[in-house]
């Protein structure tokens, strides 16, 4: 039997799912405060490349937002941002921190800059919207959490799927036990970039309108390479494929998928992590693998993340997504919507509780509503739907898989103390050194 949810019915059904969002939770219940459009929020945008300008546009859709400062170390990015706003341009973000007329920062730089800018922004009494993944090392994320707590700042992480109505409804269905007992979850991203991938450009001098040393910041000093910088028209920046700045597909996309898994399954850390993979096929100069499978053991279930860039054959017709496998049925979930497929009502000698098949489509602008949530929390001082603690936990899950891959070791993880158990050598990978004069002090 099939049951399809229409738009009106879905929105009505999602009203209860909204209670899952911690952003509106207060000691007295659920806060429905709406920010007046006249309550101006003055923004500094740090990083105005492709993602930064996208985020800036989403903020500018809200009438109370005023972009007063934009920052980037690359001249063409600043020029493109100034075509969207009359905000004052900067090449050094620290000058924006010094401005008393900046209420909040939007951090959309390469990943290796997220921790330092977030901590310094909190110390400068700015609220923060920071892109995912929040860090390159686990210890950095914990310092970001502590900085936010000490300064009592609102920090929202750009895992915008938590603001999606159909994601909220799917999570509620899982948590309400509609799928039965869930012992397995699968997440994946598949594509085909063979054989050349991102290519092999040689090292060279940086463009004259790029401050390469500032772009590197706390990362090791190396010669400029077009792929390390990675800014090419119509492509997401290639810095994602180099360990000094990011963590490959595991942290770029895996964090979105695993964040939803941990939310739905009411857990914030795996107990055991084992990852295998390699750069088997691609002939480019990326450092991250072209094929990878991470297996996570959580209390009561197993979750896998799979990525391959050498073959785009999908799972059930989808090149990416999440599947929850329950004793009563299977739920597939992605940004387009979700669907539930019941198990057969007979399985051997056991009767399976009858359930409906169900479908729902994406009915809201996740990114716009994620920004709206952040702006509301600036006013109410409630915690946002993807606060920095949640973002740190989801990022950590991905970073641990990369540590397992790079060391070739299985990790036993204590999520409470955030320690690797019984392996002092592997524990060193939880931190990363900063290049002088940069330090991550809280």
Note the pLDDT tens digit of each residue in 359-381: 999 999 999 999 999 999 999 99
The rounded distance, in Å, linking the Cα atoms of 37 and 3 is 40
Number of compact structural domains in the chain: 1
Q: What is the CATH number of the domain that holds 99?
A: 3.40.50.720
Please report whether residue 153 resides in a domain.
yes
Judge contact between 237 and 251, C-beta under 8 A.
no
Q: What is the pLDDT at residue 346?
A: 57
The rounded distance, in Å, linking the Cα atoms of 314 and 398 is 22
Please report whether residue 74 resides in a domain.
yes
Please report whether residue 66 resides in a domain.
yes
Rounded to an integer, the average pLDDT of 206-212 is 98
Please report whether residue 236 resides in a domain.
no
Q: What is the pLDDT at residue 350?
A: 62
Domain limits for position 34:
21-162+368-387
Q: What is the pLDDT at residue 233?
A: 86
Backbone φ and ψ of 276, nearest 5°? -130, 150
Backbone φ and ψ of 208, nearest 5°? -65, -25
Please give the structure tokens belonging to residue 215. 């772009």
Please give the structure tokens belonging to residue 320. 């990416």
pLDDT band at residue 347 under the 50/70/90 scheme? low
Backbone φ and ψ of 304, nearest 5°? -120, 150
Please report whether residue 270 resides in a domain.
no
Q: Of the given ranges (187-196, 204-213, 355-364, 381-390), which has the lowest mean pLDDT?
A: 355-364
Nearest to 96 by CA among 125, 64, 74: 125
Rounded to an integer, the average pLDDT of 79-97 is 97
Q: What is the pLDDT at residue 25?
A: 32
Please report whether residue 2 resides in a domain.
no
Rounded to an integer, the average pLDDT of 159-166 is 98
Please report whether residue 192 resides in a domain.
no
Q: Is residue 137's pLDDT more than 50?
A: yes
Please report whether residue 134 resides in a domain.
yes
Pairing of strands 357-361, 2-4: parallel
Nearest to 112 by CA among 30, 172, 25, 47: 47
Q: Is residue 165's pLDDT more than 70?
A: yes
pLDDT band at residue 386 under the 50/70/90 scheme? very high
The rounded distance, in Å, linking the Cα atoms of 409 and 425 is 10
Q: Is residue 13's pLDDT more than 90?
A: no
Nearest to 212 by CA among 440, 435, 442: 435
Q: Is residue 268's pLDDT more than 70?
A: yes
First to last CA, the chain: 57
pTM: 0.91
């Amino acid at each position: 039997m099939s049951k399809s949810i229409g738009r009106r019915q879905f929105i009505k059904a999602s009203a209860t799912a909204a209670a899952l969002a911690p952003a509106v939770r207060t000691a007295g219940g659920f806060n429905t405060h709406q920010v007046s459009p006249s309550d101006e929020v003055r923004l500094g945008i740090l990083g105005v490349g492709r993602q930064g300008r996208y985020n800036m546009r989403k903020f500018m859709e809200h009438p109370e937002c005023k972009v007063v400062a934009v920052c980037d170390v690359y001249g063409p990015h600043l020029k493109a941002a100034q075509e969207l706003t009359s905000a004052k341009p900067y090449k050094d973000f620290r000058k924006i921190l010094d401005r008393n007329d900046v209420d909040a920062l939007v951090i959309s730089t390469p990943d290796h800059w997220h921790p330092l800018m977030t901590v310094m922004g909190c110390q400068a009494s700015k609220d923060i919207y920071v892109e995912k993944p929040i860090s390159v090392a686990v210890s950095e994320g914990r310092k970001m959490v502590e900085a936010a707590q000490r300064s009592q700042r609102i920090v929202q992480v750009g895992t915008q799927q938590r603001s999606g109505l159909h994601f909220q409804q799917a999570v509620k269905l899982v948590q309400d036990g509609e799928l039965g007992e869930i012992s397995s979850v699968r997440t994946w991203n598949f594509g085909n970039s063979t054989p050349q991938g991102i290519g092999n450009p040689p090292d060279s001098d940086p463009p004259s309108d790029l401050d390469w040393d500032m772009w590197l910041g706390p990362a090791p000093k190396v010669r400029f390479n077009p792929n390390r910088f990675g800014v090419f028209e119509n492509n997401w920046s290639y810095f994602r494929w180099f360990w000094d700045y990011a963590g490959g597909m595991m942290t770029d996309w895996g964090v979105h998928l695993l964040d939803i898994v941990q939310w739905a399954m009411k857990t914030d850390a795996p107990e055991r992590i084992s990852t295998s993979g390699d750069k088997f096929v691609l002939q480019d100069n990326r450092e991250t693998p072209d094929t990878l499978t991470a297996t996570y053991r959580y209390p009561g279930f197993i979750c896998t993340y799979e990525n391959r860039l050498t073959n785009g054959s999908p799972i059930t017709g989808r090149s990416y997504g999440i599947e929850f496998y329950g004793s009563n049925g299977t739920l597939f979930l992605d940004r387009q919507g979700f669907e539930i497929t019941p198990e057969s009502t007979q399985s051997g000698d056991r009767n399976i509780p009858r359930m409906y098949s169900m479908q729902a489509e994406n009915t809201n602008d996740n990114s716009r509503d994620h920004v709206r949530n952040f702006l509301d929390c600036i006013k109410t001082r409630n915690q946002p739907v993807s606060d920095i603690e949640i973002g740190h936990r989801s990022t950590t899950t991905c970073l641990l898989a990369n540590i397992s891959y790079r060391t070739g070791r299985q990790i036993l993880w204590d999520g409470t103390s955030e320690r690797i158990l019984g392996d002092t050598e592997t524990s060193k990978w939880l931190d990363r050194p900063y290049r002088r004069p940069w330090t991550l002090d809280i």
